[in-house]
Chain A
Amino acid sequence: MSFITRGFEGRRRSREPSGRIPPGQYATLDFPVLSAGPTPRISREEWRLTLADTTGAERSWSWEEFTALPVTDITVDIHCVTKWTKLDTTWGGVTLEDLLAGVELGEATVVLAHSYDGYTTNVPLADLSGGRAMVAHTYAGEPLEPEHGGPARLLVPHLYFWKSAKWVNRLEMLTHDRPGFWESYGYHNYGDPWREQRYSGD
């Protein structure tokens, strides 16, 4: 269905390792900042992360409690739906396994992540398991900066980066899926970059 665009050659391919740039993406060395509103400034003293299970029961962590949990370091490629991909980003944080240890998951199938600025995004619980997701508090060896979601953000690197909610403060277990912020504005409900699931219907 596509046709050759007159005069277009394209020239980034040679610089990029094969097999790591999803379709329609290009590699960037910068770390662009995209948010729908002002960056909230949350002090570590006031920061809390709350987990609500399907019965509505909650448990929450202060910054001190959260950072006392086991830390996992990962190096991953991240893919933003606005087309940039950043290779080999290094993060430290608490995997969802470690966070959910001892939590009664019941019939939960989806997690709706909430953020300090009111942002939400939905991710299947299965995608948060197997060490594939964390609540990250460290980027490139440094405390995560507010522009990039600090004090802590969700990190689900195998999905488009809008699923990695910045400034996360609440993880709500759901038995039925519910679209989050961008998912309600026509972005794909799941967001797999390798299947190029950018928008609803992709």
Chain B
Amino acid sequence: MAGAEIQRRLNWLVAVVVGVVEETPSVRSLTLSCPGWPGHRPGQHIDLRLTAPDGYQAQRSYSIATPSEGELVTITVERIFEGEVSPFLLDVVAPGDRLELRGPIGGYFVWDPGEGPPVFLAGGGSGVVPLMAMLRARISSGDGTPMHLLVSARSRDDIVYREELETLSHHDGVVVTLTLTRSRPEGWTGYDRRVDGAMLRDLVMSPDSGLVSYVCGPTGFTESVAGLLVALGHPPHRVLTERFGPTGG
């Protein structure tokens, strides 16, 4: 683990909400137009800052769901029960609203197109968000890196970006696998259990391939999947993790 990034001050910028997509009943994407945005790498995140009339401020981090595209930054937010910020972003924010943000943040859990080693992405719940930025970058760049995305969700309706994922799975060199942990709709042919060693043995290339894995989700998911990949012989330094959905947001 080592890295050298250009160090530069992260100033707060003012963005305008230009698009809203209800992804699932509890997940919403916000597209922000942010003058001065320096661009970002797939996997990076932003800090968002909200200010109440009395001056009180709240900050939260959100992964960026899209590859760099000019001044546009799309985040995807999951409602946290009794959260302070996420219900506001889901229920109150509307196109035209202004929000303060800064970034991009994080330079380790990132993937750039460039015909590197094959990539395995595993997302639990809304942990799919930064992985989606990687998958979308892979597709839009025309890069040929083999990429496999495994998404674990409670039910079919809880799969974030479901329609897009169902289309992407027909793309050359891209595989999308879905597993449902709490319900199995009629006619479902995919997996219907939590990610386990047998599933990863079926899906994931051997360590000899040089495979790089990115695992993002709640703590239990991330700990489990990263541990299983190491148990299958993947070197720990080629298994990158990001815990997603901390409490209280």
Contact = CB atoms under 8 A, between A and B. Distances in A.
Contacts of B12: 1-2
A200 B248 contact: no
A125 B29 CA distance: 44
B248 A84 contact: yes
B229 A38 contact: yes
Contacts of A29: 247
Contact of A36 (B60, B109, B248): B109
A8 B51 contact: yes
B230 A38 contact: yes
Interface string A1-26: 11111111111110000000001101
B246 A3 contact: no
Contacts of A24: 49, 57-59
A10 to B, nearest CB: 4
Interface residues of A, number: 46
A82 B12 CA distance: 16
B247 to A, nearest CB: 4
- The secondary structure that dominates the A interface is loop
Contact of A147 (B99, B223, B246): B223
Interface string A109-132: 000000001111000000000000
Interface stretch (B131-139, B168-176, B235-243): B235-243
B236 A38 contact: yes
A13 B107 CA distance: 32
Contact of B50 (A5, A23, A118): A5
A181 B92 contact: no
Interface residues of B, number: 54
A33 B223 contact: yes
A37 B51 contact: no
A6 B249 CA distance: 19
Nearest to B52: A10
Given A23-B57, A200-B8, A8 B105 contact: no
B33 interface: no
A36 B7 contact: no
12 contacts: A5-B100, A7-B92, A8-B52, A8-B88, A9-B53, A36-B240, A118-B1, A119-B1, A181-B108, A184-B4, A186-B10, A186-B107
Interface of A: 1-13, 23-24, 26-30, 32-40, 82-84, 117-120, 147, 181, 184-186, 198-202
